[in-house]
Structures are given as structure tokens and as C-alpha cells.
Amino acid sequence: MVKTIFEEMGGTYRQVGDYLLPDITVPAEEVVEPIGLWGQRHARHLKEHHKVLYMNLLTSGKLHSYLADVDKQAEDMFLRLVKEYADRQGVTEQLKAENTHEWIGRMNNTQACVREIIDNEIIYTESF
């Protein structure tokens, strides 16, 4: 019997009933750290809009580490920008003590602005 290209490349088959199915496995990937909100949002974006890249990362066993890296990068940027923007806009501990509602409103606004920046710069970016 003539070998298939798959067999010539070292692939093997297993018998399931009357069928021969190729033995294909995805490389094991170490799951060291959980993927946070930013990584999950980026994963959803890849799944919906960049299917080939998502499948390449998944089948090469690099998806989890890639998403963990994106998550860490986005979280670091979020914390840094919130602090910078809050300082620029005068959102201080003194304001928090004097007028809590005003402080909450300004912090929510600052965080919303920073989330939009991170979405545009990291999460929904088209440059990989």
C-alpha cells in the first residue's frame, strides 16, 4: 500500500471502527497564570476577527502565553494611565475626603477614558 503524505511526514493513524483517523495532538501548554479580563477580551476579538491567527496560536501551543502577555501589558498600562490622568485632573485623596461623590465621578470618567485607550491600542489593534 502506498504511504500518504501524512505518513511520509511521520504521522500515524488509529483505527476507530471501520475508519482510520490521523493521530493529531496539540502541543501541551503550561498554564502558569490565569488570563484576566484584558486577555479574555483580546481572545474574543481574535476568535471573531482574526480566526487564522487565533488557530495558529492555539495549535502551536502559544495561545495562553500570548494572551497572558497581552493581559499583563494592558493591566500595567491601565494602572499607569489611571494614575497619570488622575494626577493631571486633580483627582486627589484630598478631593476624596472632601467630596466623595465628585471623586467617584471623576475616577469613573478617568477609568472609562483609559479603558477606551487600551481597547484601541492593545485589545482591538490590527497590528500583530
104 within domain boundaries: yes
128 within domain boundaries: no
21 within domain boundaries: yes
Q: Please, are residues 63 and 54 in contact by the beta-carbon 8 Å criterion?
A: yes
Domain of residue 44: give its range.
5-123
Residue ranges of E strands in 18-116: 19-22
84 within domain boundaries: yes
pTM: 0.76
Looking at residue 127, what is its pLDDT?
62
Looking at residue 103, what is its pLDDT?
96
Overall number of domains in the chain? 1
**pLDDT tens digit at each of 128 positions of the chain:** 788 887 888 888 888 999 988 888 766 766 678 899 999 999 999 999 999 999 999 988 899 999 999 999 999 999 999 999 999 999 999 999 999 999 999 999 999 999 999 999 999 987 66
CA separation for the pair 64, 26 (Å, rounded): 13
94 within domain boundaries: yes
Looking at residue 83, what is its pLDDT?
97
9 within domain boundaries: yes
Q: Please, are residues 26 and 55 in contact by the beta-carbon 8 Å criterion?
A: no
